[in-house]
Amino acid sequence: MSKPGKLGEGAFIQCAKCKKIHFANEFEENLRVCSSCGWHHRISAQRRIEITCDANSFEELDQDLKSGNPLDFPDYDEKRVGAEDKTGLLDSIVTGIGRIDGNRVSLAVADFSFMGGSMGSVAGEKVTRTLERGLEKKCPAIVFCATGGARMQEGLLSLMQMAKTTSAAERCNRASIPYICVFTDPTMAGVLASYASVADVILAEPKSMVGFAGLRVSKQAGVSKVPDDFQSAEFAYNHGMIDKIVERKDLKSTLSQLVQLLGGHLLEQQEGDKLTTRGAKK
Amino acid sequence: MANAVPRTLDEWEKPLRDLEDGITKLKAVAVKEKDDSRAADLKYRIQELQRRHDNYLEVMYSQLGPWEKVLVARAPNRPYMLDYVNQVFEGFVELQGDRRYGQDHAIIGGPAKLNGSPVMVVGHQKGRTIQERQLRNFGYARPEGYRKAIRLFELAQRFSMPVVTLVDTPGADAGLEAESRGISEAIAASMLKMFSLTVPIISVIIGEGGSGGAIGIAIANRVLMFEHSIYSVIAPEGCAAILWRKPEMGPQAAEALKVTAESVLSFQLIDQIIPEPTGGAHRDPASAAQSLKVSLLSNLAELSSLSGPELLNDRANRFRNLGVMAIH
Ligand SMILES: [Zn+2]
């Protein structure tokens, strides 16, 4: 998917899918979903948090974690610094504690614009801590995926993050901490084959790319002709891999419902929460 | 180097085979030689070639670079899972089927005895003949393989058997059918199951530890690698194709990805390297099997002092600390 094109002084944005031109402010107000064709354009982690959490409720944590270049991998430092400058982030995922309709959640949100949302040591650690914070603070954990998979530049360290994050999910399972994963465009490879696929509930945004290997690799594996919707959220849904495809505008209310339905048993275990703040609509 | 980079073990071992051919020819001549002094001379020349051969072998295998290790790890005559199962364990009974959809022959497993005690063995099996390679899907396991593994892990848990997994795959199947039946979910669920077991688990990378397909059955209290095996987040050729648009730059990618047992141990991602006989496991499978057995027994003995909950926590802690980060 190409970046929405800008015309004039940035007051207009063109849909990457149907090419329709929108007023930039209307496009943003519509959560970067094309009002004409419904295409969900990628959004930043910051914007995702704004539209998911109650106003001013999100407290970012572990924002100081950054990768080194443990393998001394060629060009990795340059790529990472470039991504830092472009996004203002130190890695591909933003994590913290927030509230959804008054209910506390531990949140992780991937940002595809940082090296394709790839998972290296830092992203793996931050997802692990997000799930562990759910355990600690007795609240549901929610992870928004947007990733091409494991980060090659950290070699096997990246592969080990698949295990580390899955272990944290397993501990949440045993402690009855609800864990919800939202597949956004794209959710692929090493992330899909680890913590993303073992969530209690899996939601996806429409038309997100969802798959194990890139199409190029799949073709090398002998896949010559694939259905039009191959490796889409709809394909995964039709094969029973996803609970529900939810439009961006409805995600907060769906998450809110799930948090209340699955996390009700945690409320009395939470410390420092006033009942009056809970369940209150924004 | 003047020579082109070898693409297969066969190419790379050509100088060795030339020496072996020379020895075979001389031996054929020596058998027919009637003259005592000429026979003695031939005997000397054979011994001399043999000495050069052995010397060359030892030097070659003591200086394997990352790409050469990739070639050795993928060698078609390298011992596969069943070769080890037959030599290390007794009374292996293969249990089959995922009880969900179908049959996978790339991941196989079942109970067997190790020094008289029952264990559950699960691993990747590659094939040697064309038919067997197709049957084994070239070691690319399908979702059914991982779901069968989950079933066997559950059996191990129920009957208090330690689990041994032998890893040898280029990667998991990425085709349309595998995707349709949830290959990603199958791998993730297998890891999740392994984290939930309260029996000891030991995983051994015996050949290729190829990305998600490998780690899907490599969640263990102890992870070991054979000396010339590799373990990688992505196949070197795939990495080269994505990063540099040049799959032929696999050797450079193998170097950059740090795929050798030595490198992986230096990052403390594995616990131990199992030494191979001179010239690699494929030159002396019995001796490689013996080393594996010794290693499995000593590691299981060490784990035997831990209770079920301790084993589970030990495994979670082992993986919890993996990663290299800085604070901004
Ligand atoms: Zn559109």
CA distances to A114, A141, B155, B323 from A126, in Å: 15, 12, 34, 11
Give B239's DSSP letter.
H
Nearest-by-CA chain A residue for B146: A193
* Residue B13 within any structural domain of the chain: yes
Q: Is the ipTM of this complex over 0.85?
A: yes
Residue B45 tokens, joined: 């020349």
Neighboring chain A residues of B241 at a CB cutoff of 8 Å: 216
Is the CATH number of domain A43-276 1.10.3470.10?
no
Every domain of chain A and the residues it spans: 8-41, 43-276
Q: What is the mean pLDDT of residues B310-314?
A: 98
d(CA A147, CA A144): 10
Nearest-by-CA chain A residue for B223: A160
* Residue B328 within any structural domain of the chain: no
* Residue B2 within any structural domain of the chain: no
Domain co-membership, B42 together with B165: no
Residue A51 tokens, joined: 């539209």
Rounding to the nearest 10 degrees, give the CA dihedral for residues B325, A92, B262, B243.
Answer: -140
Domain co-membership, B164 together with B57: no
Mutation choice for A interface testing from B249, B324, B328 by most A CBs within 10 A? B324
pLDDT tens-digit readout, B51-90: 999 999 999 898 899 999 999 999 999 999 999 999 999 9
Give B166's DSSP letter.
E
How far, in Å, is the centroid of ligand 1 from the Cα of B260?
48
* Range(s) of the domain holding residue B265: 71-320
How far, in Å, is the centroid of ligand 1 from the Cα of A38?
6
Whether B46 and B23 have beta carbons less than 8 Å apart is answered as yes
Q: What is the pLDDT of residue B279?
A: 92
d(CA B207, CA B203): 12
C-alpha B17 chain-centroid distance: 24
What is chain A's pLDDT, residue by residue, as a tens digit (282 residues)?
A: 344 444 445 689 999 999 999 999 999 999 999 999 999 999 999 999 999 999 999 999 999 999 999 999 999 999 999 999 999 999 999 999 999 999 999 999 999 999 999 999 999 999 999 999 999 999 999 999 999 999 999 999 999 999 999 999 999 999 999 999 999 999 999 999 999 999 999 999 999 999 998 666 656 666 677 888 899 999 999 999 999 999 999 999 999 999 999 998 888 888 765 444 444 443
Domain co-membership, B49 together with B86: no
Neighboring chain B residues of A157 at a CB cutoff of 8 Å: 267, 269, 322-324
pLDDT tens-digit readout, B218-247: 999 999 999 999 999 999 999 999 989 998
Partner-chain residue, chosen from A164, A196, A214, that has the shortest CB–CB distance to B319: A164
Domain co-membership, B121 together with B26: no
Q: What is the pLDDT of residue A218?
A: 58
Put simply, the answer to whether B319 touches A125 (Cβ < 8 Å) is: no
Residue keyed to tokens 């499995």: B296
* Residue B292 within any structural domain of the chain: yes
Is B30's pLDDT higher than 50?
A: yes
Ion ligand 1: residues, CB < 5 A: A 15, 17-18, 20, 34, 36-37, 39
Q: Is A88 left (phi over 0), alpha (psi -120 to 50) or beta?
A: left
Q: What is the mean pLDDT of residues B103-125?
A: 98
- Of A145, A93, A94, A149, nearest to A118 by C-alpha is A149
Partner-chain residue, chosen from B175, B211, B319, that has the shortest CB–CB distance to A167: B319
Domain co-membership, B167 together with B246: yes
Find the CATH number of the domain harbouring B163. Answer: 3.90.226.10
* Last-in-domain residue among B17, B36, B63: B63
Q: What is the pLDDT of residue A113?
A: 97
- Of B100, B123, B87, nearest to B201 by C-alpha is B123
Domain co-membership, B181 together with B164: yes
Q: What is the pLDDT of residue A270?
A: 83
Neighboring chain B residues of A221 at a CB cutoff of 8 Å: 140, 173-175
Domain co-membership, B103 together with B200: yes
pLDDT tens-digit readout, B31-56: 888 888 888 898 899 999 999 999 99
Whether A20 and A30 have beta carbons less than 8 Å apart is answered as no
Give B15's DSSP letter.
H
Q: For A202-216, B97-111, B170-184, which range has the lowest pLDDT when averaged over its residues?
A: A202-216
C-alpha A136 chain-centroid distance: 21
* Last-in-domain residue among B39, B63, B87: B63
Domain co-membership, B267 together with B292: yes
Nearest-by-CA chain B residue for A193: B184
Domain co-membership, B86 together with B172: yes
d(CA A84, CA A266): 37
Partner-chain residue, chosen from A65, A73, A213, that has the shortest CB–CB distance to B325: A65
* Last-in-domain residue among B27, B47, B63: B63
d(CA B10, CA B75): 8
Domain co-membership, B282 together with B256: yes
